[in-house]
Amino acid sequence: MNMPISDLIWGFIGFFLSLLVFSYLIGDNPLFRFVIHLFIGVSAGVVSVIILYQVLYPRLVLPILSGSGSQRWMAFIPLVLSILLLFKVSPTMGRIGNIPTAYLLGAGAALTVGGVVLGTLIPQSIAAVEPFGEGYSTGEKLEGALILVAAITTLLYFYFGTRYEIGKPLRRPGWIEWSAKIGQIFILVTLGAIFAGVYVTAITALSERLITFWNLLQNLL
């Protein structure tokens, strides 16, 4: 047996936990819930350690203890906001925590909108019209036209504005309805591809576990 004893022990632990996960095939049971709780607990512990050593200690504790005057003032602001956020656990003083909560929501919304506009909408728009310029072949232009049609019809699928008329049901204009149906096809194809990708990822993970167990058995034999 060429495998170190520590690798052998962790291999058996992984094999045992994998069997407990597979027990869900016969229905929900305490063994499966134990593995899920263990996974959540370990994940929470890892995230807590990462936050402590890579965020709080270098960006909050060190600037306050050994930083310059400006660095201490810059670290003092998040420290105060963090202390105010702890008041959210109190039913009577929870309103004090609304200040850092509002800051977090505002900053998160701004980053999300900025990321969507600068990282998705603008690059996607440029990529959709770029194949129609010079230097591109006919096939590339047709591919660009298909991508442009898919983007426009998909956006029109989520258009729900219509004019209200008394006595008539709310319906979108006919050209929007037809465009929305085409966009729905592209959405279904995209969701199918994503769904297939998830299954391929799951099968790949399963194959990796089976190969690991096979190697473990070979080392034992």
Please provide the size of the chain in residues.
221
166 SS3 class? coil
CB 197 within 8 Å of CB 165 = no
Per-residue pLDDT of the chain (221 residues; tens, 9 = 90+): 566 777 778 878 888 888 888 888 888 889 999 999 999 999 999 999 999 999 888 888 888 888 788 888 888 888 888 888 888 888 888 888 888 899 999 999 999 999 988 888 888 888 777 877 777 888 888 888 888 888 889 988 887 776 666 666 667 777 888 888 999 999 999 999 999 999 999 899 888 888 888 877 777 77
Q: Which amino acid is at 12?
A: F
Domain ranges of the chain: 1-66, 135-221
Report d(CA 78, CA 84) in Å as an integer: 10
Q: Within 10 A of 183 (CB to CB), how many other CB atoms are there?
A: 22
Q: Within 10 A of 31 (CB to CB), how many other CB atoms are there?
A: 15
Q: Which helix (H) or strand (E) holds 203?
A: helix 174-220
How far apart, in Å, are the Cα atoms of 181 and each of 97, 155, 160, 184, 185?
46, 11, 13, 5, 7
